[in-house]
Structure 1
Amino acid sequence: MIFYLTGTGNSRWAARLLADHLQDTAEDAAPYLKSGLTPSLHSEKPWIFVCPTYGWQIPHIFADLLRRTGFDGSKKAYFILTCGGDIGAAGPRLQKLCGEIGLEYCGVLPLIMPENYVAMFPVPGEEEAQKIIDAAREPLLEATALIAGEKPFPARRLSLSDRLKSGPVNWFFYRFCIKSSPFYTTAACNGCGRCAKMCFTNCIVMQEGKPHWEKNCTHCMACICGCPQHAIEYGKKSQGKPRYRCEEYTG
């Protein structure tokens, strides 16, 4: 089973490509997060966890969900982390996580996908984004061959920079960068409520027909990139930037 979390669609695209080529199922983690339900999952095939990279680690909210999930069947676990650049030293932390949840760590694949973090980084235009997605197919298909044979992903050599990014920089990122207060809507907002429906942390609530951001945001960027009216901004940092959302995988 492929168990995935996505904000703007990158990890969903990767998960569904994997499901297609491995003849497996792709299960979205978002409904469990939104409802607060505890998953109880079964798979005879290896577990494949696909998610974005937040501050050079697996998203904390996804790691916490995996810790409370019941896994039955296969004991092998592969991770695929979509990212705009690199995943730092995420691997050792994922190996430790597998020990906590009773699974055998089989490695992690960093998968370069279009950057979506409009709150901090430049975001590619449509043509450039498509080129990045097209280039992601080859490493992902190579990964399917290893998973099908239940062979581990190649180990990655980690630098001091990698360890710093996934260690103290990640702590700094969560402590000082992930804030919901800069989000606001422009006059283009029509109160459709799509942002609140997409928010798997239930951070967004509708008040008097407009979205209001509370304090449990995880910076998935689903709201700002998924707004059909392009009516959401993140302070001045998102102004003038394109909004990126990965289209559904179609084969």
Structure 2
Amino acid sequence: MANSKDVKCVIFDKDGTLVDFHKMWLPWAVDTVRLCEAATKMPVGSAVYKTLGVDPHLGKVSMGALAEKTLDGIRADVATTLQQFGFHSTHTEKIVKTCVPEASPGLAAPVCDLDILFRELKEMDIKIALCTADSRRATEEQMQILGIEHMLDDVVCGNDKGIIPKPSPHCAIQICKRLGVELDEAVMVGDTIADLKMGRVAGLRASVAVLSGVGTRETLSEYTDYYLDDASTLPSLIRDEIHQDFYNKRG
């Protein structure tokens, strides 16, 4: 039986944390640039890639709008980028609505065996939540493809009504409230500054950085309590370090 202050909830980011970010979003970035250049009839691709945080030559996504913002935020940033080429804001708003698509044609490839990971957490009496900047439709489709939708206790998406996106603590606080979990009984797991800052500002037990996405030890260090190569070893981290560190601090 779990102790009163054991970890009782894990809030996962999706892309880069559960799903391979590059396989999912590089095809989307290529499509977005192609559509933007066709709509503007100008070589805006390099600037749009930079705004998104995408290096098309290396096939790599780093920190930027794509990794850290909702669809609305990405569209706003791309619109601002297009305005630098002389387009009026009214025009760019129309362009991004059709040229910055909601769904990605990319592959929903898991970063580890999610079925095993989630079953281990359930055996520890830990609730599982998902907090993503992606849209609800795309998220639900991907979770069904991965076969883990039935193991999620709560899901918050970037286009849900009334949310305040990461790094605001709003989503983490609301998830804990709905699941009946104290803030210091929850852990945030993610691959970006926005993910980990949300956990830290919300007052969660810990923010765990996974290095399977766009972040590095250096870029994530300010808001990270623990590092993992990927989420597969999270259960042992909770048992062997997070629980123990909490009780050691209590004296």
TM-score by length of 1: 0.30
Which structure has more strand as a fraction of its residues? 1
1 or 2, which has the higher helix percentage? 2
* TM-score (norm: length of structure 2): 0.30
Structure with max Cα Rg:
2
